[in-house]
Chain A
Amino acid sequence: MAETSSSSDLNPKAAAMLLAPLTIVMLLVFVYPLITTAWTSIHPAGYSLEAYAELTHSTLFLKTLTTTFEISISGTLVSLLLGFPVAMHLAVQPPRRRTGYLILVMLPFWTSILVKSFALTVVFGNQGLVNQLLGFVSGGAINLPMMYNRVGVIIGMINFLLPFMVLSILGSLLSQDPVLVRAAETMGAGPLRIFRRIILPLSMPGVVAGILINMTLSIGMYITPALLGGRQDMMVANLVDFYTRQTLDWTAASATAMVLLAISGCLVALLGRIRGAQGLSGAAA
């Protein structure tokens, strides 16, 4: 009673009443559909893991899974290579100017993925800006195929993933003590050595978190491969839709969705173990 901090706490009954409506809605419209999906995947006629067994023999599924990993990993790696310099550029700016540059990074973050996909086809398409520019510079007509193929998906992916990578690395760069760099300089260490021995190891938590966030986001990607990829670049998310709509095989669709859920679940679990990871919500807010 004397404790002021706990006297302002709600009693359990009141708390439960406030929590009940949202909990019920989330259970009904979020958890229950996921259970239904799991159920559908093992219950075509009687209980069996047949659908999963079929997936392991399906060339379409295996090819799609391989494509998904190839695209996600290459997208993440390019995003890391591009994101690191951007994060370093942001980290050395004085705070006010950093805010300005951060808006440049966040602006596309707020743009609809559909808008970006459409715009990317205009910029990187066959008659797009980049090809026009290259043609103008070289004097001839240039048609580098950069859209509706693997390159297109990866370009779209990076455009979407880069802000997450930058924010994640920036966090770990800003938490480093600048005295370390100055000390190393005084002791005669060259720029490359400083980068390799001090900056890089200290930014590892941010780098790993960025990689995991990018992988989680790209594994489940649906819009980008559908709009910017070719026929050969279907990803697992598109396969779920393909089974649902084209072949009307809900069991296969559910099993595929469960595999996707398991993969992203593992990535999220790993992300949760990274110290200093802001997670997806931190990056979004």
Chain B
Amino acid sequence: MTSTYAPDRTTLFGIYKRVALLKANDERSRKVIMTGRLVMPYYSYRGQEVIPAAMATALTDDDYWVTIYRGIHDMLAKGMPLNDLWAEIAGRVDGTCKGKGGPMHLTYPEKGIMVTTGIVGSSMPIANGIAWGSQLKGNNRVTVATFGDGATNIGAFHESLNLASVWKLPVIFLCQNNLYSEHTTYEKATAAKRVADRAAAYNMPGVRVNGNDPVEMYAAAREAVDRARAGDGPTLIEAMTFRFYGHVFGDADAYMDKGQKQAAMDADPVPLFRARLIAEGIATEAELVAIEAEIETRIDTAVEFALASAFPDLGELTRDVYAEGEVA
């Protein structure tokens, strides 16, 4: 790992703040569903927090992101406000999409969050187009597409990597390899030994990193961002990780290897990261406790804001199908 891109102490602290927010938000989401206060399909990202936190830290607000159903961590990392997020996943009018997108279709262009898709493998072709736009405008913005390991077996993945490489697009393909696609293990579904190896076929760098290690993940992200900004084209990053709570919240996990799962949970990247900050003297226990408490308060506020927000009126049923005044 090149030290050129290693995060300094402030950067590392910044990544942790994002990680702490993502972890707390996932825990709250599961709690709110379990207590019956909200009903929604929920794809827990618990265990994968370091990847988007490090990636987002390597980006600016102006950069773009296209993500998937398991992408709330990506969006929070990129700066989606908690109130808007919670109102949307509650299907309320104050949500980012007036409640019409829901957890699988969040959009927040203000922070570059352009598309969230529920279709496996579809984040990449659209990310290419956004990156093409940046290339045409010469505005130096980078686009990140996130997806899972399973998505790399979809045709769109291959079409997208090929086109991005031929056109030298400023795009980063960030695979969050949590070793499962739905209930199927990586080995059963993917012929390539490593997702990163697939980059070779498209003449672009393919790197596999420990996505749970903030230093390694940040370095890979920075290197890819710099490459994209310099006009050197796309990078495929395979960030290794593990999801703790099954595919969709409520699934029984019977298909998962219990030992593997236990080992992954024992190596939970969040407390490890937290301990590291203290060990390296980057933050004190008291500082972290204060940050975490503030996050809880912000989430409390967001949940209450969301539940107090109105449902969209029924006129929304046929609004936004076409531009206003252009109704079919």
The judgment on whether A and B are partners is no
Chain B residues in contact with chain A, CB under 8 A? Answer: none
Chain A residues in contact with chain B, CB under 8 A? Answer: none
